[in-house]
DNA sequence: TACGAGCGTACGTTATCACGTACGACGCCA
DNA sequence: TGGCGTCGTACGTGATAACGTACGCTCGTA
């Protein structure tokens, strides 16, 4: 999904700004630390990072390495990716049933539609799927493999469904849900006699523009 | 959610290992780069980071600073938090309909259930809701306000639903979906004569207190 | 075979990250 | 009022991240 075609994406410098964002993680760290009622030395004790270093990072005077940033995140009891999450996205967007563009083909037995706006900055893509009896996802025209690091949740809203992920099968019935790493090879099958319907949520599929 | 009470958490060194994880982001960068058919110099061109530096980072010989890590992430067309998403849960987790703990109260007209595992580090929380006619969410026992920065998607799977977000109302019918900032004051109402059912996806809340 | 173009990596230099120590400011209690 | 403890920050030093250059390598191609 999203972008990242395994093609020659090079010809255009994606953003070229290079400088990217000022990365003002400092105030965030300070806010989190103060929210925990920790002094710089306290946090230094917990993280193994010196208090002056923490002070400089909080004020944005230096950019810590990933190792120390990871230690700081651990000391704040969150993962590094959580600590660095200061992305964006704003407002309210309604996607009408009639407006969304369907994918797949009902003739082949698998049809789906994206119900979240296809805008950058989206953190979770939600889609509805319908799978005919005996059919499996992964045919031509289906959404391609997800990008590395993404995770997926499938919630069965009708019928029975079977997830095959990394060679292992998981049978799901109506109301069941499954969460898994979406970058592993996987597909869904419909073993039952009836049509299967499910909602898929792929997270972390955001791209930059 | 997650952990980290805003209390005096100090007495116990949270993990004390300090060293934390080896943070092997290198192989991941290499995999992503090769997936884009980019050479080290190509990526260096896109990111403003020298090719030898990229090589060292990929092989784990050095730990880049956040600034260069951010630039690398930008060159790979992802956010830094995405690039570092090699922590948090892994594998496949099935939540059976019978296993999930319901919330709300059917007597009050609003019942819901979380279908994603309630583990820290989850990027997207998916829940199913049922709202009786004339009832609005937000009553006692309902899930509290979401954290700053989080976003929510609601997909109507049955009946009609009305979202009131920051004072504005949005009418939704079966199959419609809406995405909005979950940290704005909001609630759902069921104007129709029938029961309303919808799936809610809350993504990426970062924790503050 | 020879050769240029591309690849990834080893080398040496510079910039800066990260440490330990030390200083002024503020609050508490004798 | 003085002394004690803690806070956050300004030093100076050693470690290392990041750079530019240059080497050996594998391909297509003449």
pLDDT tens across B120-151, in order? 344 677 778 888 888 888 654 445 455 545 67
Compare CB distances from B155 to A85, A115, A204 and report the shortest one's residue.
A115
- Whether CB of B65 is under 7 Å from strand C: the answer is yes
A74 touches B at CB < 8 Å: yes
- Distance between first and last Cα of chain B: 11
Helices B40-47, B66-75: inter-axial angle, 10-degree rounding? 110
| Positions of chain D reached by protein Cβ under 7 A | 6-11, 16-22
The reported pLDDT for the residue numbered A53 is 93
CA B185 to chain centre: 19
Residue with tokens 């996607």: A95
Query: What is the per-residue pLDDT across A186-209, written as a single tens digit (0 to 9) for each?
Result: 888 888 788 888 888 877 532 222
Query: What is the per-residue pLDDT across A6-26, written as a single tens digit (0 to 9) for each?
Result: 323 233 333 333 334 446 788
Measured between alpha carbons, how far is A50 from A79 in angstroms, rounded to an integer? Answer: 20
Name the protein residue, with chain letter, whose CA is nearest the C1' of D7.
A39
Q: Which domains does chain A have, with CATH numbers?
A: 25-83 (1.10.260.40), 102-203 (2.60.120.10)
Compare CB distances from A95 to B80, B115, B177 and report the shortest one's residue.
B177
Compare CB distances from B15 to A67, A74, A170 and report the shortest one's residue.
A74
List phi, psi (to 5°) of A10.
-70, -45
Q: Is B75 helix (H, G, I), strand (E, B) or coil?
A: helix
Is B91 exposed, middle or buried, given 0-12, 13-18 or 19+ CB atoms closer than 10 A? exposed
The reported pLDDT for the residue numbered B156 is 86
* C-beta atoms of A9 and B38 within 8 A: yes
- Whether CB of B10 is under 7 Å from strand D: the answer is no
Joined together, the tokens standing for residue A7 give 């093609």
Looking at the complex, report in whole angstroms how far the Cα of residue A124 sits from the nearest Cα belonging to chain B: 6
Query: What is the per-residue pLDDT across A108-159, written as a single tens digit (0 to 9) for each?
Result: 667 776 656 544 344 667 778 887 888 888 654 445 556 555 677 888 888 8
Measured between alpha carbons, how far is B40 from B199 in angstroms, rounded to an integer? Answer: 43
Q: What is the CA radius of gyration of chain A?
A: 22
Joined together, the tokens standing for residue B156 give 């109507």
A172 beta partners: A161
């Amino acid at each position: 999904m999203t972008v990242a075609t395994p093609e020659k994406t090079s010809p255009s410098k994606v953003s070229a700004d290079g400088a990217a964002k000022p990365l003002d993680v400092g105030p965030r760290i300070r806010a989190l630390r103060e929210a925990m009622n920790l002094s710089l030395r306290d946090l230094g004790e917990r993280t193994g990072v010196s208090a002056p270093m923490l002070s400089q990072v909080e004020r944005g005077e230096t950019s810590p390495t990933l190792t120390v940033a990871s230690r700081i995140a651990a000391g704040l009891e969150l993962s590094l990716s959580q600590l660095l999450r200061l992305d964006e996205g704003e407002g309210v967007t309604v996607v009408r049933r009639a407006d969304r563009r369907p994918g797949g083909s009902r003739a082949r037995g698998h049809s789906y539609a994206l119900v979240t706006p296809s805008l950058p900055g989206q953190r979770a893509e939600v889609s509805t799927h319908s799978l005919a009896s005996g059919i499996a996802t992964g045919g031509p025209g289906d959404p391609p493999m997800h990008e590395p690091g993404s995770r997926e949740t499938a919630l069965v809203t009708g019928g029975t469904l079977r997830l095959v992920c990394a060679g292992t099968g998981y049978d799901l019935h109506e109301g069941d849900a499954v969460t898994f790493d979406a970058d592993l090879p996987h597909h869904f099958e419909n073993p039952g006699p009836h049509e299967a319907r499910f909602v898929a949520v792929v997270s972390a599929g955001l791209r930059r523009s």
